[in-house]
Amino acid sequence: MRIAVASGKGGTGKTTVAVALSMAVSEKVLYADCDVEEPNGSIFLRPEISRTEKVLVEVPEIDEEKCISCGKCAKFCQFNALVSLGTPPLVFPELCHSCGGCAIVCPTDSISWKKVSIGEITVGSADSGRVSVIQGKLNVGSSLAPPVIRQVKSHIADDILTVIDCPPGTACPVIESLDGADYVLLVTEPTPFGLHDLILAVDTVRVLGMPFSVVINRFDEGDDGVENYCKNEKIHIMAKIPHRRSMAEVYSRGGILFDAIPEMLDLFKSIPQMIERGIEVE
């Protein structure tokens, strides 16, 4: 089973929840850090790294001998990665989405492909080998998160419980991270900001047709907008994590949820079973 941990808003506690879930269960688990612009689950899981691999994408390379400067490739490119000024095109590889269209429209077959690295995958394990940790990291200056996320996901095996730590927001990197997951936990906080972005996230997972529930972090602060919204929308609240000073202290030292709030452990332990039993709407 693959459980994705997502949110609309950043900073609500996705990594806190994803790490807690990975550490709570006693079975083998794979923690996949798909928040490739700022992967930080490893700070808390402290995996032993066994290997790294590069994430390569293909970008066009122009054969200026064969090119007739017709500009068809540049006109085709929706990402402005190719520019033709009546000359062989200039290539901006960092803008290329590797769609391959320019090579298809080129009448003289002048475009070949060159591999460039846009990120790195780290493979490791934590908690004496019980937790496999796969982390994707996008290179600074690269803007294409989805290929890095796809490569993280290529390491997921079907027979192991997998926790996917998603990036914030509702755009392409989130969709790519959610794709293939069986269930989504949406982490939010009880504030107007949390509610606003939770609604966006709920709209997203509903369009994707994925079963989901909500985790409210820093529960006893803020207002009751999120709870009322969930009640009206008949959305199950899977967990309410209390707001404690001790949690902030533990977090600041790279500790995990149960170091500060041990009474949450039983609930997190039972989340995979609850999901399997189909608790979606109360």
Partner 1 sequence: MKIAVPSPGKDLESDVDSRFGRASGFIVYDTDEKTFIVADNSQNLNAAQGAGIQAAQNVSSTGAGVVIAPSFGPNAFKVLKAAGVKAVTCSAGTVKATIEDYLNGKLSESDAANVEGHW
**Contacts to partner 1 by CB under 8 A:** 74, 79-81, 83, 85, 87, 90, 92, 95, 143
| Helix locations, 58-98, DSSP H | 72-76
Q: What is the CA radius of gyration of the chain?
A: 22
Q: Output 70 or 95, the one with its CB closest to partner 1.
A: 95
- Shortest gap between Cβ of 37 and partner 1 (angstroms)? 15
- Shortest gap between Cβ of 209 and partner 1 (angstroms)? 26
Q: Output 83 or 161, the one with its CB closest to partner 1.
A: 83
Q: Output 15 or 98, the one with its CB closest to partner 1.
A: 98
Q: Output 84 or 213, the one with its CB closest to partner 1.
A: 84
Contact between 137 and 39 (Cβ < 8 Å):
yes
Chain CA centroid to CA 73, Å: 32
Contact between 32 and 134 (Cβ < 8 Å):
yes
Chain CA centroid to CA 181, Å: 11
- Shortest gap between Cβ of 86 and partner 1 (angstroms)? 9
- Shortest gap between Cβ of 173 and partner 1 (angstroms)? 13
In whole angstroms, give the CA distance from residue 74 to residue 80. 7
If one counts every other C-beta atom within 10 angstroms of the C-beta of residue 57, the result is: 21
- Shortest gap between Cβ of 32 and partner 1 (angstroms)? 26
- Which DSSP symbol is given to 245? H
Q: Output 45 or 81, the one with its CB closest to partner 1.
A: 81
